[in-house]
Chain A
Amino acid sequence: MKKRSPWKTLVLFAILGIISLFFLIPLIWVIASALRPASPLYEYANPLTWRTFVPTNPTLENFVHIFVNLNFGRALMNSLLVSVSTILLTILVASMAGFALAKFEFRGKAVLFTIVLITFMVPFESIVIPLYILIKQLRIDNTYWALILPGVANGLAIFLFRQFFSEVPSEIMEAARIDGASWFRIYWKIAIPLSVPAIVTVIVMVFMFQWNSLFWPLVATHSSRFEVVQVAIAAHRSTENTSWANLFSSAIAGSLPPVILFLFLQKYFVRGISGTGLKG
């Protein structure tokens, strides 16, 4: 280890501290404001004092209000249902394909792999309008299926599983094959249990995508029955007079699940990133 000068460290710390203020101030302010009684929400915004960032009489009444009177809980449950269903289906479908792509030589493989690569280059948002036309033709618009199924077509997840399975030695599988195990059994009993890190990466990736999506749910559903978190948050804004208390508290409540997931599974977020081709 080389020796560092303490001054350099201090300067670095100061610079990083200033940058982090840029990221933290908006968050702290919004959280503090949501914890104030609904009427004087903005009271301390200007001029700036310590009260701007610390609620003097903290209350949860804004949160109670959105859950009790505005049914925000239903939006949370809808998002949870959609996210979990998409995750389960994606893991099953993508791991099977990844397994075959990693362990088999078969006719049409090159074409298939190209399709996978192309599809993960086509971002979901870019095909929202044709997808809407499609689900109308399939008569699944305004259903949970409309929210779940398009999310399962995930080239990146297939690619991640394929990368992961490539590193699992084939010998175990050959041995199992000689013992008379079926291919599905080998996939289910050998490949899947070994792929937990890939599974967690896909869970994080799909969850963030589904939980945070606004555009597609907005287009694909219109009944309040199917309203997901982001649509519910945005709805507080599109009404004529925006209720800041509702907007802030729903934004915070709706962000808690992904933020908690992020804080606990940070390394899998990064793994999802490096899986996109820039392996660290």
Chain B
Amino acid sequence: MFRNNKVAWLFVLPALAFLVVFKIWPIGVSVIESLTTTSFTGVKSFVGFENYEYLFKYDPVFWKSFSVTLIYSIVVNPLIVLTSLLMALLLNSSHFFTKFFRTVFFLPAAISFAVVSVIWMVMLDPYNGLANSFLTMFGFKPQPFFASPNQALWGLVLLNVWRSSGYWMMYFLAGLQNIPETLYEAADIDGASTFRKTFRITLPLLTRTISFVLVANTAFNFLSFAPVYIITKGGPMGSTNLLMYESYKSAFVNLDMGRASAITTILLGIILLFSFLELRFTRARFEY
């Protein structure tokens, strides 16, 4: 370690400027803006917690959006942890084909959410989509998918599982490589089955990775925007109106920056809460 305050600060100054202007300051703007309202004449005035009060007390659209976001999170996050963990366990051996499948599973993560949305919008198209072709081939009735208020959210869940499972799988594969081989060798000598080894060695030792992926993925999914914007526009009947999209509409369609900022601030609070959980779960890993 060198000691030189002046030189060190010259090196960090550009980065600090960027972080303060484009990260810290917007967080402040979000909070301040959420405490104001803009009249029709464009005059901004301070209103305290009125925007929040209104959201929680008198705003059924917000509540609907809030509950949709919550349901979406509660379903999609554990599901992705499950699928990605399962894929990682299946790929945690070295065969000649392991690398190929790893690439295939991870491939959707290289594609943007906008394109993934386009792909699943047409896959689940009620008239021309392949999903219905498969259903009818196996003798099931074709489904409306994104056209139905009961199914649209599940379409988004499916889309997200397709796009994100391979990505989080890579975290689990990294975690699996940290488990010492000797533990499995010892278990082999004792004649343990694969099933037993998975539940007695692998999963317990993977707890921290599982919590990390769950928490990081949850924070990430609270911010889903592209699929809603491209496929459903929040509909049908508000069934896919996730908070991020609701705040976008509030800001750029209804031009109500106060309400939009209040929703953003609520989201930020949730994300930060999850980030602190994330830090707690992974604290030991930050020591090098």
| Chain A residues within 8 Å of B, Cβ to Cβ | 2, 9, 12-13, 15-16, 19-20, 22-27, 29-30, 42, 45-48, 52, 92-94, 96-97, 99-101, 103-109, 112, 115-119, 121-123, 125-134, 149-150, 152-153, 155, 158, 163, 166, 170, 173, 183, 187, 208, 211-215, 218-219, 229-230, 233-234, 237, 244, 247-248, 251, 254-255, 258-259, 261-263, 266, 269-270, 273-274, 276-280
Contact = CB atoms under 8 A, between A and B. Distances in A.
A263 B107 CA distance: 8
Contacts of A215: 225-226, 229, 244, 248
Interface of B: 1-5, 7-9, 11-12, 14-16, 18-30, 33, 87, 90-91, 93, 95, 97, 101, 103-115, 118-123, 128-130, 132-134, 136-137, 162, 166-167, 170-171, 174-175, 177-178, 188, 209, 212, 216, 219-220, 222-223, 225-226, 229-230, 244, 247-248, 251-252, 257, 260-261, 264, 267-268, 271-272, 275-276, 278-279, 282, 285-286, 288
B257 A106 contact: no
Contacts of B19: 115-116, 119, 153, 155
A187 B112 contact: no
Given A13-B95, A255-B111, A277-B282, A97 B15 contact: yes
A123 B220 contact: yes
- Summarize B's interface: helix, strand, loop or mixed: helix
Contact of A125 (B28, B87, B115, B244): B244
Nearest to A123: B223
Contact of A122 (B8, B27, B137, B166): B27
Which 5 pairs show the lowest CB-CB distances between chains A and B?
A97-B15, A212-B112, A121-B275, A280-B174, A100-B11
A42 B11 contact: no
Contact of B2 (A9, A26, A103, A116): A103
B11 A187 contact: yes
Given A104-B7, A129-B260, A277-B285, A234 B130 contact: no
B130 A52 contact: yes
A152 B22 contact: yes
A19 B106 contact: no
30 contacts: A23-B107, A45-B129, A46-B132, A46-B133, A96-B12, A96-B14, A97-B16, A100-B7, A100-B8, A104-B7, A115-B19, A122-B23, A122-B271, A122-B275, A126-B271, A128-B264, A129-B247, A130-B26, A130-B27, A152-B18, A153-B18, A153-B23, A173-B2, A187-B11, A212-B111, A214-B113, A230-B114, A248-B118, A274-B174, A280-B175
A214 B122 contact: no
